Amino acid sequence: MATFLSPLRIGTLYTTIEMALYTHKMGNMLKESDERFHRLIENAHDAIYIIAPYGFQYANPAFEKLTGWKKEELRNSKFNFWNIVHPDDKKLVMEKAKKRGKEEQSSYEFRIIPKDGEERIVEANTVNIGKKREAKEMGILRDITERKKAEKEEKKCSQRLKNTFVETINALVSALERRDPYTAGHQKRVTNIACMLAEEMGLSSELIDGLRFAGLVHDVGKIQIPTEILIKPDHLSDIEFVMIKMHPQIGYDILKAIDFPFPVAPIILQHHERLDGSGYPACLRGEEIMLEARILAVADVVEAMSSHRPYRPALGTDKAIEEISQNKGVLYDPKVVDACLNVLSNNKVKLV
């Protein structure tokens, strides 16, 4: 006698079959996913490891290659992670491990001593996995030894280049001061004032370095001005003054071909420009003038007025303060003037 299933039982049977098929399908997918993940880890360029409380649980081929230790050796109960950490970096690694317990993940650099004894630098990314009592450490180590060597060499080259620039600047300063003994030290004093103003304004160290280079040679263009005009004890004629006004352009032309790490030539070109466009050589206005040039302009005026010149005695600090105060926002940048007044009032710089 045939047995007929009720629609409800048939539906339940279909659902059971579908669930079984779905579970089987998901199992295959997870298995395939695990296999792909395993292949990815095994072929990764970075060293990957997992450490359990009892020792190494896993290390990929890249870890073996980096450290020189084989999986069989790593699983030895006598071997632990500290065997490969540089003695001087163990404290750092330990501190990072303690913090990782709170922050879950950490990234840092330290040195390792592989089996061959050749020191390597690694960038580590580590995380704690598993239950609290069974916490395991999973880490990725990237060998950055060559990158660090390249960075160190680049830093050395940069310093050598900077030293070359300094020597070039000092040679130009010496050449100019031999031609014009009355302004000996002027460029150095202007540079000192300009850098103090920049510091007072909270500007970056990079901008201050550029200002220092430019300040030391801001009058280098005067090297092509006849000496008799530079040391003339009387006021300059109109023609002579026109010749003097050529020195920013001459200085720019002399230095523009040198590949300074800072905009030295443009600063020199603009250091006699004024906010209202009355300066020279290009009659630039306001923000058209580089900030470094605006700072140098104030420092130059203050130092020049406070110092002796062949055609007049020193006018004094009070006159210099009066000049920049009255022309604040007209000829000179207001923020630079305020910084200068603060520096002078606090006696941070000696003008004479």
58 close to 44: Cβ distance less than 8 angstroms = no
* The pLDDT value given to residue 4: 46
Nearest to 290 by CA among 265, 327, 317: 265
CA 352 distance to own-chain centroid: 36
Distance CA 294, CA 135 (A): 61
The mean of the pLDDT values for the chain is 83
Can you give the pLDDT at residue 14? 52
What would the mean pLDDT of 305-318 be, rounded to a whole number?
Answer: 75
Query: Among candidates 329, 324, 327, which has minimal Cα distance to 298?
Result: 324
Our CA angle for 99, 102, 103, nearest 5°, is: 80
The pLDDT > 90 percentage for the chain reads: 39
pLDDT at 23: 60
Q: How sure is the predictor about 103, in pLDDT bands with cuts at 50, 70 and 90?
A: low
Of residues 109 and 164, more confidence is placed in 109
**Average pLDDT in the 6-17 region?**
54
293-301 mean pLDDT? 96
Strand arrangement, sheet containing 55-59: 55-59, 47-52, 136-143, 120-129, 105-112
Q: What pLDDT does residue 273 have?
A: 97
| Band of pLDDT at residue 89, cut at 50, 70 and 90 | very high
35-59 pLDDT, tens digit per residue, is 776 778 888 889 988 888 778 888 8
Nearest 5 degrees, angle CA 289-CA 294-CA 295? 150
Q: Is the pLDDT of residue 5 over 60?
A: no
Question: Is 299's pLDDT higher than 70?
Answer: yes
d(CA 181, CA 246): 20
pLDDT digits (tens, 9 = 90+) for 313-344: 667 888 889 999 999 999 999 999 999 999 98
Q: What is the pLDDT of residue 349?
A: 64
At residue 102, the pLDDT reads: 56
Predicted pLDDT of residue 91? 92
Average pLDDT over residues 77-100: 85
In this predicted structure, the answer to whether residue 24 has a pLDDT above a threshold of 60 is: no
Judge contact between 144 and 123, C-beta under 8 A. Answer: yes
In the chain, the amino acid numbered 42 is: E
Instruction: Specify whether the CB–CB gap between 213 and 262 falls below 8 A.
Output: yes
- Tell me the one-letter amino acid at 192: N
pLDDT for position 18: 60
Could you write out the three-class secondary structure of 152-181?
Answer: HHHHHHHHHHHHHHHHHHHHHHHHHHHHCH
Over residues 128-151, the pLDDT tens digits come to 887 765 668 888 899 999 999 999
Per-residue pLDDT averaged across 4-12, rounded?
Answer: 51
Over range 279-302, report the average pLDDT. Answer: 96
Name the more confident of 185 and 269: 269
d(CA 195, CA 217): 14
Say if residue 351's pLDDT is above 70: no
Number of H helices, E strands in the chain: 14, 5
Of the ranges 35-39, 65-69, 129-133, 185-189, the best mean pLDDT one: 65-69
- Whether the Cβ atoms of residue 306 and residue 320 lie closer than 8 Å to each other: yes
Structural domains of the chain sorted by starting position, each given as residue range(s) with its CATH number in brackets: 35-143 (3.30.450.20), 173-345 (1.10.3210.10)
Q: Look at the chain and count its residues.
A: 352
Residue with tokens 């065997």: 83
Per the CB < 8 A criterion, the answer to whether 63 and 50 are in contact is: no
The long-range contacts involving 96-102, CB below 8 angstroms and separated by at least 24 positions, are 96/124, 96/126, 97/126, 97/137, 100/126, 100/127, 100/128, 100/137, 101/128
Q: What is the pTM of this model?
A: 0.62
| Calpha distance 272→172 (Å, rounded) | 20
DSSP type of residue 130: S
Whether 302 and 193 have beta carbons less than 8 Å apart is answered as: yes
241 residue type, one letter: F
